[in-house]
């Protein structure tokens, strides 16, 4: 039973890592993008990225840690889950990436996405590996 649980956890982290390796190939701050790039999201939908990604909002909790590990800072992270911000305040992550402590959190309440609040954060992209309540309106915003 324990081996099966560990295997499922490893598969989930592998999936999250692959999502972020794909995301990093199209994003963070210091890396230049072509004028436009098409990627396939976790739902299997083609998504066009039309400009250099400079502002990233995320969910769930581990995504910002991966962005910091790959990009070397949290300068591009403008929004994150409240628990990520809380954890960063009391961990080494807050010292390594103090910009994460300035990220907005008001667009997420548990697994509920408030699209109007996310629009106020003005991200270029929103990274998630979950379908959140409220996401059905996200596509209409251009994020």
Mean pLDDT per 10-residue interval, the chain, length 143 residues:
57 55 51 66 77 84 82 90 90 91 90 89 86 74 78
**What integer pLDDT is reported at residue 4 of this predicted model?**
58
Look at the alpha carbons of 131, 137, 140, 142 in this order and tell me if their dihedral is positive or negative. negative
pLDDT at 33: 45
What are the backbone dihedrals phi and psi of residue 129, each rounded to the nearest 5 degrees, phi first? -120, 20
Confidence (pLDDT) at 29: 47
The pLDDT of residue 111:
79
Q: How far apart are the first and last CA of the chain?
A: 41
pTM of this structure: 0.70
Give the whole-angstrom CA distance, residue 21 versus residue 27. Answer: 10
């Amino acid at each position: 039973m324990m081996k099966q649980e560990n295997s499922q956890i490893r598969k989930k982290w592998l999936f999250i890592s692959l999502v972020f390796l794909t995301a990093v190939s199209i994003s963070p701050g210091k890396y230049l993008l072509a004028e436009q790039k098409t990627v396939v999201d976790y739902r299997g939908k083609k998504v066009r990225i039309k400009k250099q990604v400079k502002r990233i909002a995320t969910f769930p909790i581990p995504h910002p840690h991966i962005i910091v590990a790959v990009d070397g800072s949290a300068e591009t992270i403008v929004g994150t889950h409240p628990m990520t911000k809380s954890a960063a305040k009391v961990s080494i992550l807050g010292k390594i990436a103090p910009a994460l402590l300035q990220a907005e959190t008001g667009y997420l309440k548990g697994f509920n996405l408030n699209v109007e609040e996310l629009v106020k954060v003005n991200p270029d992209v929103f990274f998630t590996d979950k379908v959140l309540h409220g996401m059905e309106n996200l596509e209409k915003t251009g994020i």
